[in-house]
Structure 1
Amino acid sequence: MTFKYGTAVLFMVLILFSCNSSDDSNETPVNPPETTDFISAVDISSWPEIASTNPVFQDADGNEQGFLEQLKSYGVNTVRLRLWVNPLNEHSGYNEVKAFASQLKAQGFKIWLSVHYSDTWADPANQEIPEAWKNLNFDGLNAEVGEYTQMVAKEIQPEYIQIGNEINPGFLLPEGDINTNYMQFKTLMETAISEVRVASPASKIMIHFAGTEHADWFFGQVDALDYDIIGLSFYPIWHGKSLTALQNTMANLSSKYDKDIVIAETAYPFTLDWNDWTNNIVGQEDQLITGYPASPQGQFDFLKSIKTITQDLERGIGFCYWGAELIAWKGTEATNGSPWENQALFDFNNTALPVLEVFKAE
């Protein structure tokens, strides 16, 4: 994802991959257009922070029901979590993510780990080396990447793991710049990937790119790497408004590079209104796709189209909705609250929106 809370700017992006074995039932459904391996995911990385404020959620009928329980009941089977190295507070750090992942596994969710290799947001405009690693020479940095990756993969054992987040320019810049330090970028990626293969051999490895422009060039640069899934972010505000172009790009990438493919990040507004005093990322009609208004039905139709595009691809294996949890949890007058509450999966009363129906297996 590409922004920081409290600002209304930044770039971003979402989703997933296939699994050789499933934690779900081995029984074949009566009408099974999709298997239990199809990823129906949400990124709810901020939930531990939001949960501490004790928000109350309702189902579509107005009955009080827990947030995670509702996600499960609607068919969400995978949760994506960002991981920062040494964040300013505990949120999205190793201890919080490990504990939250354990809780989610106990509730039957699969874990999709987005390793940022940064102390904060990593995206096409921000790929900053963690503060504790900044004075290392390249060999030291490479060793640190290996040790860190081994630790998180071994301890969390995610079903899916991204090596970097939206690494369009590379990661750990400038050392891992894909344009100016390609061999170092490749070495850092190989080190991280090899550690995952040893520490968590069942994990599927994803490489995540934001958008579709230049995606073919990028995945050509990483073609020699040992990974399993292509992940793309797709937000209309940043990545264009043509779902046909998205589908064609996904089909071409998957076929050309012989990989499974997912939408790793996406989202859409159910309104252009706001529920706090923090500027929202999406708030204008010209940021929308024609035919998909900012309404509960428009949000449903958009995500349904994303799911259908992925399902229709020969090697499309899933999708992930970013910011499902980002209600206005700091209060209706917060200026440092949620820039995303109009794109969450719950309305301004914390009631489930129709879009949650899209996650159900059909």
Structure 2
Amino acid sequence: MSVLCLLLASYLSLFRFSLATPRGSITANSTPSTFYQGHDLSSLLILEEGGAIYKDTQRQNQTRPAEDILIDGGMNTARLRLWVNPLPGQYDLNYTLTLAKRFAAKDQHIYLDFHFSDTWADPNHNNAPVEWPTTLEPLATTIRGYVNSTLNSFHEAGVDLSLVSLGNEIRHGMLWPLGYVDVDTQPTEARIQNFTNLAYLWAASRMGISDAVAAGVPKPQVMIHLDDGWNLTLQNAWFDALVGTGKVKSSDWDIFGFSFYPFYGTAATLANLQNSLNSLAKKWGKPLHVVETDWPEQCNGTDAPVLSEPEIPVSIQGQIQWVHDIRSVVDQVPNGLGRGVSYWEPAWLNNTGLGSACEDAILFSTDWSQYPKAIAYSRQSVNLYR
């Protein structure tokens, strides 16, 4: 997501949480055919510690945990980001594991999103952690050990992961500067060469999963996550270059993850998404998952973007229609390979635009009259997955 998210996150109330370590998995069982109906709820603990409370309008404004409201709306998967050495309380291991245990205890699949950074990772920000090595082989050794120890920490805490994304929106690679790539490099041979460092580092992170599995951790489904899921030219060039290095095999990952937002280009249409997902499914024979999306309830400012599906209303009903339409696209992927949809940060009350120029894309209406306390009332769109 955008710089706006980074700036907002930097000013949130920050807290540390203790790490308990009970034995025995409490996560929902996952099978290769599971359809993941998800929400990213990474910021929820920070919001709650800052005084946010959530009201269920369908239960006479009863105060309830936000995830319970969303579970009633069909959620079965919680997506959580993980940073390496952030500011205290911002998405570090203790923080993320605290939320994971809470959601897994409610039979949610846990989808862990490794950013491999101390802060936001996306196509415009994917810097290596400050304290990690700055040469290739030591960096590869570090990321392998980090992934291994992280999965073991979750397992020891009783949370076994259903999905693990090795990197977040890595169109331009990860662990910059060593892992930076330019997918527009020409000709093909030069692009493959450009991907060599990234492939080496990504393969090292994947070996970290194998190490954890060898130590007794149940294997999660391994994801590669890019942005612009509608852009088939981008996806073909990127994945062909990755495997073209010979350092990553197609068998090394299990599932594709794509972001698909209506704000960042009028070509991000449902028809183009369908073409992209269908083509990739036929080419690679792997499951595909739209792992980030949202739709505005308000988008009226002078800088409001042109949405890629303008016939869908900017409204609560539009939020529902957008996600239902994406679900329809995913359901139509050949051979049942469409495997999930996740809404990005529906409960982030003080970041309602979610990185876009629209005013509000979350699934709750917020009363700030008792600021800094926030009272959030669920909209009908919390039922996206019903």
Q: TM-score, normalised by structure 2?
A: 0.78
Match for residue 99 of structure 1?
A: 98
Aligned residue type for 2:310:
T
Deviates more, 1:262-271 or 1:54-63: 54-63
Q: Aligned pair 1:255/2:255, yes or no? A: no
Match for residue 185 of structure 2?
A: none
Residue 294 of structure 1 and its aligned partner are, at CA, apart by 1.1
Match for residue 298 of structure 1?
A: 318
Distance in 2 between residues matched to 1:312 and 1:306, nearest whole Å: 10
Match for residue 5 of structure 1?
A: 5
Distance in 1 between residues matched to 2:297 and 2:29, nearest whole Å: 31
Q: List alignment gaps of at least 5 residues for structure 1.
A: 9-21, 27-34, 274-279, 329-336
Distance in 2 between residues matched to 1:105 and 1:23, nearest whole Å: 7
Aligned pairs, how many? 323
Counterpart pick for 2:162 among 159, 162, 165:
159
Counterpart pick for 1:149 among 147, 150, 155:
147
Match for residue 40 of structure 2?
A: 43
Distance in 2 between residues matched to 1:73 and 1:104, nearest whole Å: 13
Match for residue 244 of structure 1?
A: 271
Residue 254 of structure 1 and its aligned partner are, at CA, apart by 1.6
Aligned residue type for 1:348:
T
Q: Aligned pair 1:195/2:208, yes or no? A: yes
Is the partner of 1:149 in helix, strand or coil? helix
**Contact 2:39 2:79 (8 Å CA) reproduced:** yes
Distance in 1 between residues matched to 2:322 and 2:303, nearest whole Å: 16
Seen in structure 2, the aligned counterparts of structure 1 residues 183 and 241 have a Cα distance that, compared at 3 Å, is: closer
Seen in structure 2, the aligned counterparts of structure 1 residues 173 and 136 have a Cα distance that, compared at 3 Å, is: closer
Distance in 2 between residues matched to 1:109 and 1:283, nearest whole Å: 38
Aligned residue type for 1:165:
N
Aligned residue type for 1:359:
Y
Distance in 2 between residues matched to 1:25 and 1:269, nearest whole Å: 31
**Contact 2:166 2:223 (8 Å CA) reproduced:** yes
Distance in 2 between residues matched to 1:59 and 1:50, nearest whole Å: 17
Distance in 1 between residues matched to 2:211 and 2:74, nearest whole Å: 31
Is the partner of 1:58 in helix, strand or coil? strand
Percent identity, aligned pairs only?
Answer: 26
Counterpart pick for 1:208 among 205, 213, 225:
225
Match for residue 119 of structure 2?
A: 120
Q: TM-score, normalised by structure 1?
A: 0.82
Distance in 2 between residues matched to 1:343 and 1:237, nearest whole Å: 11
Distance in 2 between residues matched to 1:120 and 1:4, nearest whole Å: 13
Residue 288 of structure 1 and its aligned partner are, at CA, apart by 5.4
**Contact 1:4 1:121 (8 Å CA) reproduced:** no
Distance in 2 between residues matched to 1:306 and 1:255, nearest whole Å: 19
Deviates more, 1:58-67 or 1:254-263: 58-67
Distance in 2 between residues matched to 1:25 and 1:5, nearest whole Å: 31
Match for residue 24 of structure 2?
A: none
Higher relative contact order (CA 8 A, sep 6+): 1
Residue 25 of structure 1 and its aligned partner are, at CA, apart by 11
Deviates more, 1:217-226 or 1:166-175: 217-226
Match for residue 342 of structure 1?
A: 360
For 1:268-324, what per-residue CA distance to the aligned partner results, in whole angstroms no more than 9, with x for missing partners? 111226xxxxxx9x9626235211121111111111101111112130001000011
Deviates more, 1:300-309 or 1:169-178: 169-178
Q: Aligned pair 1:218/2:254, yes or no? A: no
**Contact 1:101 1:111 (8 Å CA) reproduced:** yes
Q: List alignment gaps of at least 5 residues for structure 2.
A: 9-26, 155-159, 183-192, 244-248, 368-375
Aligned residue type for 1:177:
Y
- CA RMSD, Structure 1 to Structure 2 (Å): 2.5
Residue 57 of structure 1 and its aligned partner are, at CA, apart by 2.2
Q: Aligned pair 1:352/2:378, yes or no? A: yes
